[in-house]
Structure 1
Amino acid sequence: MAAIYALYARPVHHFLLGLTAGDRSEAEDILQETMLRAWRAIDSIPADDSGARRWLFTVARHAAVDAYRRRRTRPREVSLDDVIGLAGRDETMETALTVQTIREAVKRLTAAERAILADLYVHGRSQRQVAALHGIPLGTVKSRSHHAVQALRRASLTGGDDKD
């Protein structure tokens, strides 16, 4: 276990710093939880270097998600200085998890819904332009985009747990 810690603690800690928006204390706590889980499942760690690395990073990601969920259900007290220090940071753990949730929700949309949303919101086309481009009625564009946006909204509100 000491060899695993020596090899992987630093890269896993760096990865966790990204997930915790640079919160060293939180990243260290999650690293400890990751190593504890690795120790408990020592026989499950792949023998090869790349497999072990992937395994540990997966365990670290799951531990980070678990920590986030615990904090979300039971908010901890923070000082005003902590809040001011976090203000303005774009890549918080919550943002990263929300982006991941939305990506997964987009994957669950039909190809037609994804194409319509891309044309409307990425390419900036009007609903009429999208209807003409896809050769479908305007009402179909409206209903598909509405249902797709609702599905994404539900996913963002439920954290991706809503499977329709």
Structure 2
Amino acid sequence: MSPSETTPDEDLVRELYVQHGSALFGYVLRLVGGDRQRAEDVVQETLLRAWRHREALDPARGSPRMWLATVARNIVVDGERARRARPTEVREDALHALPAEDGDLDRAMLSWEVLDVLAALAPHHREVLLEVYYRGHSVAEAAARLGVPPGTVKSRTYYALRQLRLLLEERGITPEVAL
């Protein structure tokens, strides 16, 4: 094999990193209380476990991102348990960054999925949803901020919500839960 050729295993890990690496790193960074080096280590270990357990990444079994986040959280929790079993080292406050309940993790994962779906929308649809729903502007205010007629804001909002609903349903998320 020449140096420029890659194996399917390398391609799998590379694809996971490209698709989920930054979101996973941000999530883990919050879990470990901002310790970048530790977050990098956890992401690396998570991707290694994904490589070892390729069957868990089958889309029919659910979202690979959910599986990656669960594995990362378990690595962080296991690390904290191991640290508690030993004398205190440098930081003991990292455990407080972990979600208090599984519901917190579910909400965080749902937020990731919704953000991914929003990113998949056309920029003009995403802009109008941000103005009208996130920032709470009226149609007239959104039109002024975006530099388009109010009728355009209305139609873009309609089509953006339709597309958002379809994308959420494709991922198995009911819009009522996500919104």
TM-score with structure 2 setting the length: 0.44
Higher relative contact order, structure no. (Cα contacts within 8 Å, ≥ 6 residues apart): 1
TM-score with structure 1 setting the length: 0.47
